[in-house]
Amino acid sequence: MSAIITDQFRILNAENFVASIANTANSYYAFMGLSDPTASGYGRTSTWNGTAGPPFPVDNSNYSNHTYDTMLFGKRVTSANARRLVRKVNWISGSTYDYYRHDYSPTNRSQVTSSNRLYSANYYVVNSEFRVYICLDNGTATGISTTPSASLDEPTFTDVEPSTAGTSGDGYLWKYLYTISPSDIVKFDSTEYITVPNDWLTTTNTGIQAVRDNGDSDTNNNQIKVVAIDEPGLGYPQFTAREFNILGDGTGGRVRITTNSLGQVTETQITSGGSGYSFGRVDLSSENSGVQTSTSAFAKLTPIIPPSKGHGADVYKELGADKVLMYARFDNSSYDFASDTIFSQVGIVKNPAVRGTDTIFTDNQFSSLYSIKFASQSSAQDLNIGDKIEQTVGVGTTARGIVASYDTETRVIKYYQDRSLYYNVGTGDEKDAVDVNTRAPVVDFTSSANAITKTGGSFSVNVDQNFSGVTTTLTSGRVVNLGVNFTNGLANPEINKRKGEIIYLDNRPSVTRNERQKEDVKIVLEF
């Protein structure tokens, strides 16, 4: 069977995703992870940061579980930090643009980009003032030119009715839609995309409401804005500015037509847009009796049908908003976000749970690392990111972890435990070995007199068994919030790993964080 997933399905999916973010029953988080991507072990490669770039993530539950294990921290993304997107098409003087048509197809491609679908065509622009316009005519639709003209006049107006932009006579007809807000520019602007307001259909913003109401042909009878001259015909009587009805499944449409001495249609102008049309035909029956019987002699005039009720009524269908951008900022305002770590993965997790429960986590951010507060600082070398630590917790039983952060001031180490610590040392997988009974079980670090040591090093420090709480006082007297609650020198992750769903994952060249650095994460999801 021949079948397609339609553009409207993609637009609907983007709409539903934004609604899911706005739903208070859900929690979405952008997260960072994997601080040691070039070490040996599952999911890593020595060439991670090489010229070929990181390996592609694997879409299976095994890889997702490992992603949970190596997750560092997350920042909640609310509806205030999620926007629907469309491609950015800048207005540039001298450039040519497609115009909006409802019938682009493989046999009717757009004039400038040769696109076979509307949303791939360059039929809208954003100007230098971040105002967005639909191109309704590039000089060819209504008869000014047979080929697309260069756009010479930048549209800057905010009137709700279509208009030309200047005095050059370039033939372009523009329809103003909206202005991107300054806050959206700061958060979401990029070289590739522009934002679309999330609440177009419901907002009481006066500017948007005026455009939306103007596009509602159920109330103002102005649905059709353009009748395109696809074939001018031949042999019609010569006349100037004569009105004709637009017939079809709608009502009220009328167009003013001019012909030349050869009986060709040379100009069309809508006088009444009507309403309710999904197709239309111009009624030239009163003037076509003298036209030759050859089909090629009859004019083909195509009423251009806007999306929804009219241009501006539904900007998501108008622009094809099938992408969503999620934004999160990671700074050093929270101890949850370790400033001395490395991250090599960025992703989105939906509905992680509070550790030890099935309750959805709802705080503004989380730490997904284990933490240990040391009783003193080692006289040996400090720990580095990616170092392996151990603690003997019983006869033949060893707890293992990988260092993700070590703050020598607070004497707090943050670490994670992933399968690379417990797999076969030689093969890095599940292969049997003589030490499987002692190596494979995942063992927690304990608040005991047993020292924390570095694998293959001289580092050795004891757990501060007397420390509990979320704050510590430095030797300088400064009180520091540690972000997580310690009990007898140990703290668990704030989320219940592997509860929730990782819905997006990006392997990236490693980024080293520092205390003077912020990361703005912008993730674009295309449906």
Write out pLDDT tens, residues 130-188: 999 999 999 999 876 778 989 999 999 999 999 999 999 999 999 999 999 999 999 99
Assigned CATH for 1-83+321-360+495-527 = 2.60.340.10
Q: How far is CA 152 from CA 145, 165, 167, in A?
A: 15, 9, 9
**pLDDT tier, 299 (very low <50, low <70, confident <90, very high otherwise):** very high
Check whether 281 has a pLDDT greater than 90: yes
Write out pLDDT tens, residues 312-322: 999 999 999 99
Write out pLDDT tens, residues 409-462: 899 999 999 999 999 888 888 899 888 888 888 999 999 999 999 988 888 999
Write out pLDDT tens, residues 94-118: 999 999 999 999 999 999 999 999 9
pLDDT value of residue 270: 97
Q: Are 157 and 124 in contact (CB under 8 A)?
A: no
Q: Are 402 and 40 in contact (CB under 8 A)?
A: no
Task: Give the pLDDT mean for 80-97.
Answer: 97
Check whether 223 has a pLDDT greater than 90: yes
Number of CB atoms found within 10 A of residue 484's CB: 20
- Written as one letter, the residue type at 493 is P
pLDDT value of residue 379: 67
Task: Give the pLDDT mean for 468-475.
Answer: 90
Strands (E), 17-130: 28-33, 71-76, 82-87, 124-126
Closest to 482 (Cα-Cα) out of 453, 74, 492:
492
Give the DSSP H or E segment for 66: helix 61-69
pLDDT value of residue 334: 72
What is the domain partition of the chain in residue ranges? 1-83+321-360+495-527, 227-303, 369-492
